Amino acid sequence: MRSPGNGRPLTPAGPATLTDGERLWPVVGGIPYLRAGRDELVGFACRALERGDERAALVELLRDQDDWAPDPPPGRAAVEALVDGEPGLREAMDGLGFGPVGDYFTYRLSDPTYLAGLALIQAHWNAPQSSFELACGIGHYSRDLSRRGVATAGGDVVFAKLWLARRYVAPATRFVCFDAAYPFPVASASADLALCQDAFYFLPEKAHVAEELLRVSEGGTVAIGHAHNAAAENHSSGAPLTVEGYAALLPDPLLYDDAELTQAFVSGEPLVPRPAGELGGSEAVCLVSGAHGSADGPDLTLPPPGTPLLPNPLYEVSGEDPVAMRLEWPSPRYEDEYAPRSGYLPEGLEVSRAVLDRAARGAVGADPEVDRLARVRVLLDLPGRAR
């Protein structure tokens, strides 16, 4: 890795700090914190680490937010209680003040934008040995890829998200906290697959970000998913480009309508790339550049065989046998954004107790009914508790 301060290689300066020859950078919970413009926080964390107080450094890094966060950071006492306890993932997100973002991550595995990203990756599977995801959040895609034998890495500007990812979602992934507006600290040609899913439209300096993704994946594939279209109406649209604007950032990209990718994921239909001129009305688009051919790869519509599955937490579950399941959206805001494209989720259904028991024992990949419910995201392989 390289320093965001002077661009020099980072080398260990101790068990929990890195140096670029001019200054120290903290490494907490195995995650380097390399955010530029956070001199006071970096200094505090390094001093705490030098005196052996990793807890103090962790608490302050967990309170750090991105520059456009709408709410104040969580209180120090609340974060200390979270660090000292054994909360579940949702409880931890609430304690860190994630707000509506907590809903986004809690139900991420079944939302239509996530399925579109998986469809894009599968259609252009290049048998990656390594991957890097920018704006990786709490690591859902890293989890899916690492369980298929990919050496995964991810970066995000919010340290708390990466800490949650390591603790609950993708413990095998290497994470680094940095700001995408600066040169990425990741080595050139270090990933066969570079991703940015459901975040690229938010980022400033998009040309720089695209260049860095291409550098990191030199000779491999770049996949950008769910990029909001400036010519269409969007929820929380960020700072989007037109379809033509996105296409100009990558060499010879293939373009897709995001909603069509979701449909293809559920139906098994082949993906159809489209010219930019046909996507002017698309709410969001996906792009892939590099290795356009697809190698035989894993079926990303299902978890790996033997994975225990539980009911999607979007469902209210009642009854003994059969079990009644009723779709309950967590908030009007979430429903307004995701329900129109989530037609694969039945409003209500009954499932036999035997099917749920087989799913919980890991029958996916060997039971047609379990597989059917898993493909439409009624059953999910939910992240576990703290490690």
Domains of the chain: 11-97 (no CATH), 108-289 (3.40.50.150), 310-380 (no CATH)
- For the chain, the first-to-last Cα distance in angstroms comes to 26
- Which residue's structure tokens are 């895609």? 141
Mean pLDDT computed over 143-147: 96
pLDDT at residue 91 greater than cutoff 70? yes
CB 16 within 8 A of CB 58: no
CA 310 to chain centre: 21
Mean pLDDT computed over 85-112: 94
CB 274 within 8 A of CB 261: no
CB 177 within 8 A of CB 35: yes
pLDDT of residue 139: 97
Tell me the per-residue pLDDT of 252-264, one tens digit each, with 9 for 90 and over. 999 999 999 999 9
pLDDT of residue 70: 77
pLDDT at residue 199 greater than cutoff 90? yes
pLDDT at residue 295 greater than cutoff 80? no
pLDDT of residue 20: 95
Q: How many CA atoms lie within 13 A of 177 on its CB side?
A: 31
The average confidence (pLDDT) of the chain is 94
**Span of 12-21, 69-78, 361-370 with lowest mean pLDDT:** 69-78
What pTM was estimated for this model as a whole?
Answer: 0.95
pLDDT of residue 114: 97
